[in-house]
Amino acid sequence: MIRESLLILCLLSVVIFQSCKTLFSTSVKNDANDGKKIAEYLKDGKHLFGHESTIMMGVAGNQDWELKTKSEIPINIGNQKSDVKYMIGQLPSIMGYDAFKLILDVTDGPNRMPDVETSLAALKLYRESGGLISFDWHMQPIFLPNYKERAYRMDEFDNNPYIASTKTQQPFYNIANGFKTKDKWWMEYEAKRLKPMADRLKQISAHGSGIIFRPFHEADGDWFWWRLKYLEGDLPLNGKEALMEVFVETARYLKKELPNMLIAFSTDKLNYVSHANANDEEIAKHYAAEFKTFLPKNASDLFLIDIYGMDLYTSEAHPEESLKNYRLKLQGLSLLAKQDGKIAAITEAGNRGTPAEEDDRQPTIKWFNDYLFSWISDQKINVAFTVIWQNWSNNRDKTVAYPGDGYFVPVDKNSDPGKDFIKYATRKQTIMLQQFKSDLRKFNTN
């Protein structure tokens, strides 16, 4: 398992021109051909493709579908539904998943244990079938009475009755400032979030091999309870310092429990970075500099982070704005990742216009090829993987110009977006599960 973890790390790392020689020579028997093989494997825009909840839910077919019980999970993953598989006959290399679903029994109560067991069984199947798991974590706040799911959103007043109290109590801010003294805020966080999370992750992969974990994402946005705006007050740690205190100590705790796990940190789009009086190269550097302000200053803390990511969704109303802007963001991210010896990734992405494009109510922008792949294949961009957001609902309002973004992988093979996805997903540069498994076996034979 150690060698497999290192190979996975190396496969991801090569895209930012890291050498795996030192890593192998200090940890496992070194094969002189490994570096050549891996360098050949990931070049010219090659990247691992991921899809959130890809075998857990979807919209393809006559109605929306979702895995709800363990009994529905097949022994062979080839028999499991997936919207990606429906479109191209293959599964993604990476399944994204929301880690909060692993501890629903802790946050909601023991009646949610069947849901937890279903998630664990499906994730274990995906991992044992050779796939990687990339976890985001829409963590629920602590000390909330009568918890209700989706309490992590500060912009969903219909779903979250705790918005006012969360803004007042600032739980994340208190967790950050409670670490050094191990006060009630930190101890509750450790006991009710970190420990159960580590225990559940071990049931999927004992030492964390093949797991990417990405907590507290998009803090530059305004929708989660860990947003920077809520991390200000009279206590010593504020803003990005407070965010990174919790992030680093979370990473340290989880890596101690699962040493082979990869930790990712991602922002949203950093839209506030100025483009004024700057050329493209300077703008890319501005993005790199701003991303760096989120990161820990201490080298040993920075060492805990393996992956730098950005979450990039294209607006359905003005998609063209993202075409150049996201390219510059990813150039900056790639530049910083290379400087720091990290992996760069598009940790979440999607075209919010997909449902309307499949309905022929707005023009197809060929997002997968003209946008996503054009970014990934850019000579100044080196991303190891991308995870497209989940398909969860096709019950959208078909009378409005821009229906709700209920899915991100097209599900009509004959639609223009469907054809665009199939072209992208079957490119030799887009690595799906079977290809990834095959190549990993080649590297793992010595």
Residue-by-residue DSSP string for 142-156 = SS-TT--TTTTBSS-
How many angstroms separate the CA atoms of 189 and 192, rounded? 5
Q: Note the pLDDT of residue 14.
A: 43
Q: Note the pLDDT of residue 406.
A: 85
Q: Does a structural domain hold residue 219?
A: yes
- The pair phi, psi for residue 167, each rounded to 5°, is -65, -35
> Helix, strand or coil for residue 416?
helix
pTM for the predicted model, two decimal places:
0.91
Q: How many domains does the chain have?
A: 1
pLDDT category at 156 given cuts 50, 70, 90 is confident
Q: Does a structural domain hold residue 24?
A: no
* Count of CB atoms situated within 10 Å of the CB of 394: 18
* Count of CB atoms situated within 10 Å of the CB of 420: 24
pLDDT at 30 over 90: no
- Residue count of the chain, please give it: 446
* Count of CB atoms situated within 10 Å of the CB of 336: 22
Q: Does a structural domain hold residue 173?
A: yes
pLDDT at 85 over 70: yes
Q: Note the pLDDT of residue 317.
A: 82
Instruction: Compute the mean pLDDT over every residue in the chain, rounded to the nearest whole number.
Output: 88
Q: Does a structural domain hold residue 312?
A: yes
How many angstroms separate the CA atoms of 251 and 248, rounded? 5
- CA 52 from chain centre, in angstroms, equals 8
Beta bridge partner(s), residue 386: 49, 346
pLDDT at 40 over 80: no
Give the structural domain span for 86: 45-433
How many angstroms separate the CA atoms of 238 and 393, rounded? 38
Q: Note the pLDDT of residue 322.
A: 93
Task: Tell me the mean pLDDT in the region 362-387.
Answer: 95
pLDDT category at 253 given cuts 50, 70, 90 is very high
Percent of the chain's residues with pLDDT above 90: 73
Strands (E), 16-130: 47-52, 57-58, 65-66, 94-98
CATH number of 53's domain: 3.20.20.80
> How many helices (H) does the chain have, and how many strands (E)?
18, 11
Is residue 358 within 8 A of residue 409, CB to CB? The reply is no
Higher pLDDT, 437 or 237: 237
* pLDDT, tens digit, 9 for 90 and up, residues 342-361: 999 999 999 999 998 998 88
pLDDT category at 127 given cuts 50, 70, 90 is very high
Strands (E), 182-221: 211-215
- The pair phi, psi for residue 92, each rounded to 5°, is -70, 155
Q: Does a structural domain hold residue 35?
A: no
pLDDT at 15 over 80: no
pLDDT at 409 over 70: yes
Task: Tell me the mean pLDDT in the region 190-208.
Answer: 97
User: Among 31-35, 91-95, 190-194, 325-329, which stretch is predicted with the lowest mean pLDDT?
Assistant: 31-35
Is residue 118 within 8 A of residue 195, CB to CB? The reply is no
pLDDT category at 379 given cuts 50, 70, 90 is very high
Strands (E), 268-398: 307-314, 343-351, 385-388
* Count of CB atoms situated within 10 Å of the CB of 89: 11
- Torsion sign, CA atoms 435, 440, 441, 446: positive
Residue (of 380, 319, 379, 325) closest to 350 by Cα position: 319
pLDDT at 2 over 80: no
Beta bridge partner(s), residue 66: 57
Q: Note the pLDDT of residue 310.
A: 98
Distances in whole angstroms, Cα of residue 318 to Cα of each of 231, 259, 272, 280, 313? 31, 43, 17, 21, 11
Distances in whole angstroms, Cα of residue 351 to Cα of each of 44, 103, 215, 361, 417? 24, 30, 23, 15, 10
> Two tokens at 156?
């969903």
Q: 110: buried, middle or exposed (CB in 10 Å: 19+, 13-18, 0-12)? A: exposed
Q: Does a structural domain hold residue 2?
A: no
Q: Does a structural domain hold residue 5?
A: no
> Helix, strand or coil for residue 95?
strand
Q: Does a structural domain hold residue 9?
A: no
pLDDT category at 42 given cuts 50, 70, 90 is low
3-state DSSP percent of the chain in helix, strand and coil, to 5 = 45, 15, 40
User: Among 73-82, 132-141, 152-161, which stretch is predicted with the lowest mean pLDDT?
Assistant: 152-161
pLDDT category at 157 given cuts 50, 70, 90 is confident
Task: Tell me the mean pLDDT in the region 120-133.
Answer: 96
User: Among 6-15, 171-180, 266-275, 357-366, which stretch is predicted with the lowest mean pLDDT?
Assistant: 6-15
